[in-house]
Amino acid sequence: MSKDNLELHKVNIEHMEQYNQLLKYVFQVTKHTMQQVGWEEKEFIRAKLPSFERASVIGWFDKENLVSQCVVYPMKVRIFSQIYDMGGLTGVGTYPEYSNHGLMHALLEKALYEMRDKGQYISYLYPYSIPYYRRKGWEIISDKITYEIQDYQLPKSRQVAGEVRRVPITSPIIRECYDRFASVTHGALIRDDLAWNEYWLWDNDDITSAVYYNEKGELDGYVIYWIADEVFHIKDMIFMNEEARIGLWNFVSAHFSMINKVVGSTFTDESLAFLLEDAKIQENISPYFMARIVDFEKFIEQYPFKPDTRKRVWSFTLEDPLLPWNQGGFTLTIDRQGKGKVEPTGKKHKDKIDIQTMTTMLLGYKRPDYLNKIGRLVCSENTVDMLEDAIEQQTSYFSDYF
């Protein structure tokens, strides 16, 4: 098989069945997998249809047969105080007999060019291979912490001013609560119908939720969970403040007589163990989502640096494995209000950074000082100090999956 015999073009609605067959093959979505969450194949196709209709899907075709594809969802994400249009990359796959012909490289390159044209200057993805996507310019920007708490380790109930009420996951209250949380949370996805559809896609019918109302009647948090075989499973828990966190854990602990342990996930950089009286619980941390800046100059136009009394200037060489407009010499100027501007210089500078490192640094996952120490950021100590002062010190929260 030669790449010359294949055609690269849009995947349209008439290719929907082939699109789903390729997804299921590459990601090993078997009938058993679908049955576990109550899906029939036709139901799965119907569930994916709304996302497909809004997505940009491109693929390689061997005559009429779809053999390789990638999908970009139009999404929005909060980066510190700014909301960015984001290209959510997913559904990346190739049938094995068509591998090693550069098909994926060409698809990713085309997807990134399209993102730039649409003003999506940042892209997120869940990686099947971190090394592969690092080579293409993405870098880790968030973690997932999974934990297991035995029943005797659950926190004792503490008095709070508000109350918890159980609600179905279909209630608009859940969306309202998340929107309130995402409006003040760095890294959070701004969920529209497409994002919510993906968020619930693989959950079974037993999943439910409970929300915390403060004494003013405001929604300050929720826990999404299900109970099976005496295990309390937490899909996600969000809270606006410590009071809401305590109230929600009071609710979980109230199930003491029904369960023998709690297992769940959290997506912050805060260890749950430290907050428990019996801190000797099982916790595992692993990289979760990756991101890459699509257009560095445009990304910086929106980026909120910290204000300072000084005007800050940094000249450096930027490297990008795919995108020519992110390659070469640049000067970054940050004014006293924290607004940045990037201008190409047309020459190389001794300070060096690649797009992967720039992304994880600007999104707050790793600090400039650490990146400098491990050789990912080549610059003077004065520049490190300037960047430390200029970049907000918050870690991305990202609990979605697509």
Query: What tokens were used for 109?
Result: 């390159």
- SS3 label, residue 168: coil
**C-alpha span between 10 and 392 (Å, rounded):** 39
pLDDT digits (tens, 9 = 90+) for 278-337: 889 999 999 999 999 999 999 999 999 999 999 999 999 999 999 999 999 999 999 999
For 110, half-sphere exposure in the C-beta direction (CA atoms, 13 angstrom radius) is: 18
pTM: 0.91
Phi, psi of 137 (to 5 degrees): 110, 0
Quick one: which H or E segment has residue 84?
Answer: strand 82-94
pLDDT at 123: 98
**C-alpha span between 115 and 106 (Å, rounded):** 14
Query: What contacts 125, CB < 8 A, 6 or more positions away?
Result: 88, 89, 90, 92, 133, 138, 289, 290, 291
pLDDT digits (tens, 9 = 90+) for 137-172: 999 999 999 999 999 999 999 999 999 999 999 999
- SS3 label, residue 17: helix
Pairing of strands 290-293, 139-140: antiparallel
For 147, half-sphere exposure in the C-beta direction (CA atoms, 13 angstrom radius) is: 25
Query: What tokens were used for 98?
Result: 């068509």
Extents of the domains making up the chain: 3-120, 145-286, 296-390
pLDDT at 130: 97
Phi, psi of 264 (to 5 degrees): -170, -170
**C-alpha span between 134 and 351 (Å, rounded):** 21
- SS3 label, residue 198: helix
Do residues 401 and 128 lie in contact, with contact meaning Cβ atoms separated by under 8 Å? no
Helices (H) and strands (E) in the chain, counts: 12, 20
Q: Domain 145-286 carries which CATH code?
A: 3.40.630.30
Of 117, 118, 136, 116, the C-alpha closest to 127 is: 136
Tokens 């609560």 sit on residue: 177
Quick one: which H or E segment has residue 23?
Answer: helix 16-26
User: Can you name the CATH fold of 3-120?
Assistant: Aminopeptidase (3.40.630)
**Among residues of the chain, what percentage have pLDDT more than 70?**
95
pLDDT at 5: 87
Q: Domain 296-390 carries which CATH code?
A: 3.30.1050.10
- Answer yes or no: same fold for 3-120 and 145-286: yes
Tokens 């080579």 sit on residue: 135
